[in-house]
Amino acid sequence: MDKLVTIIGGGGFIGRYAARELARAGWRIRIAAREPKAAFFVRPQAALGQLSFATCDIRNAGSVARAVDGSDAVVNLVGILKGNFQAFHVDGARHVAEAAAQAGAETLVHVSAIGADPASASDYAASKGEGEAAVRAAFPQATILRPSIVFGPEDDFVNRFARLQGLLPVVPIVRPEARFQPVYVRDVAQAVAAAVSGQGRGETFELGGPEEITMDGLNRRIAGAIGRKAFLPLPDALTGLMAKATGWLPFAPITHDQWTMLGVPSVARGPGLKELGITPTPLDAVTDGWLVQYRRHGRFTADAAA
């Protein structure tokens, strides 16, 4: 194969895994990022000469056009959890779709999120929905992937809770009844590779793991792996007020918009991993391999649940 795929935001959490899957499939890969040097760690995922890098700021249409020039396929992995959602999720997504169309790319894969809806009360989810609409307008046959919470060794979700459990004697749980369908990062990467190959072109897929779990259940699952047991589920009325009062601070643990977003189940509906030929990986099948670092005595912790 002598085809080029450009991965916008390829130096992120999902990007390293997507690059590996696409390299195995024989694609030439271009990683486009604001700071390409920060993405050099991806190089071992590909063979010599199979991987290149480009500077790209998704907020700048000209920058995106230069980055995707000559591409047969384009993948947009860029997303933020707080900040200027309009610039990254809407305008940036439009820039990528327009540039991909102008470059004559056969395929565009846009990674969004479950819950994307222009009418959502969450600014994050609303921007994701508006971004999908902008992508469809510029590149009608784009394939949209909507993952639930993505977990893996480098994630900032499961690891965050594990760190908190190691630091605090009692862990407060915000939105204990919030529901997720955690999806393994390698499964998401395989979905990206399948979509780049042309599977499900023009369709939308919601990517979730094999089980639903609440925020409370997730924390208790993590605790079972690392030997921690003390929790304090907090009422929504209290945490909502706290998030509204302090969420604007630079180092706030949760913004009010994130709190609002947790009120909408992140659960897959409709076509998903199985329709792309991928068997979802259970959370427990892989997390123990890296959560061991959070046990008091590593692998020798006696009170870690079996």
Closest among 140, 266, 15 to 132, alpha carbons compared: 140
Closest among 71, 67, 70, 69 to 57, alpha carbons compared: 67
d(CA 207, CA 269): 9
Cβ atoms of 239 and 196 within 8 Å: the answer is no
Q: Are strands 179-180 and 213-214 parallel, antiparallel or unpaired?
A: antiparallel
How many other β-carbons are positioned within 10 Å of the β-carbon of residue 160?
Answer: 12
Cβ atoms of 10 and 55 within 8 Å: the answer is no
Q: Positive or negative, the Cα torsion across 56, 58, 61, 64?
A: positive
Residue 297 is predicted with a pLDDT of: 63
Q: Mark residue 87 as left, alpha or beta (left: phi above 0; alpha: psi -120 to 50; beta: remaining).
A: alpha
pLDDT tens, residue order, the chain (306 aa): 689 999 999 999 999 999 999 999 999 999 999 998 988 988 888 888 899 999 999 999 999 999 999 999 999 999 999 899 999 999 999 999 999 999 999 999 999 999 999 999 999 999 999 999 999 999 999 999 999 999 999 999 999 889 888 888 888 899 999 999 999 999 999 999 999 999 999 999 999 999 999 999 999 999 988 887 778 899 999 999 988 888 766 667 789 999 999 999 999 998 999 999 999 999 999 988 889 888 876 554 444 443
Beta bridge partners of 6: 30, 74
- DSSP assignment letter at 205: E
pLDDT in tens, 117-149: 999 999 999 999 999 999 999 999 999 999 999
Q: Positive or negative, the Cα torsion across 38, 28, 154, 266?
A: positive
Pair of tokens at residue 245: 């009062």
